[in-house]
Amino acid sequence: MDVRASRTKNPDAWMDSCPEFSKPICEQLREWMFRWQPDLKETINTNMLCYSGRKRVVAIAGFKKHAQMVFFRGMELEDPAGLFFGGENNTSIRNVNLHTLDGFPTSALRRLVESAVQLDANPDLPPPPPKKREEWPMPEVLAQALKKNKAAAAGYESLKPTYQREWKVHVSTAKQPETIARRLAEAIKALERGRKWAQRNDP
């Protein structure tokens, strides 16, 4: 998840500033949270409407073409309804993306929220064993670029597998040719300095 500056620290003002498309969805998600979990504390953090118990449990984010429910310990939750979207590059957070509420399985989302609250409320519950992720395939364009650039190849090899995976995901999840080219150039420039994906914009 990208860290974004918050537009405001006031939840009501934050809701008013949501993009036109996602605002009604965010309003409904907020209303559900008030009804489902009235004891959680509502705050603004990284431009999201966050709900916390002992720690942050879930958050609501509004974008131009969708809204999002963020589960901070989503990797530890069962998701029988298949609501989570993506998450290949995360170790804890999972997201539910909402483009419409028509026909949306509200009861399944409520069960996810309840499970997340229970997880947060039980400090003695041991975390699940780390899930072994399948190896992410090396995108051909990145492999070819590394063959042509010894410094970038050395930088890539110096990284731990987890950080190598982040670069492979970053390049291979691009769909449009211009996006692929931009991400590839970004990767090679950063890898020449041995940078992780999260450090790619560091001076």
| pLDDT higher than 60, residue 181 | yes
Mean per-residue pLDDT for 185-192? 93
pLDDT value of residue 175: 87
Between 1 and 176, name the one with better pLDDT.
176
Rounded Cα distance between 111 and 138, Å, is: 37
The neighbouring-strand residues paired with 51 are 42, 58
| Alpha carbons 203 and 157: distance in angstroms, whole number | 21
List the domain boundaries for the chain: 11-121, 140-199
Q: Please identify which residue in the block is written with the tokens 């993506």.
A: 86
Residues whose CB falls within 8 Å of the CB of residue 135, separated by 6 or more in sequence, listed in order: 165
Compute the mean pLDDT over every residue in the chain, rounded to the nearest whole number.
88
CATH topology of domain 11-121: Aspartate Aminotransferase, domain 1 (3.90.1150)
Q: Would you call 29 helix, strand, or coil by DSSP?
A: helix
Q: How far apart are CA 73 and CA 71, in angstroms?
A: 6
CA separation, residue 53 to residues 13, 14, 100, 192 (Å): 23, 21, 28, 43
Has this prediction a pTM greater than 0.75?
no
48 forms beta bridges with: 45
Name all contacts of 13-18 with Cβ < 8 Å and 24+ positions apart: 14/44, 14/47, 14/49, 15/49, 18/62
Any bridge partners for residue 59, and if so which? 50, 70
pLDDT attached to residue 88: 55
pLDDT in tens, 128-156: 555 566 788 999 999 999 999 999 999 99
Span 6-10, mean pLDDT?
Answer: 78
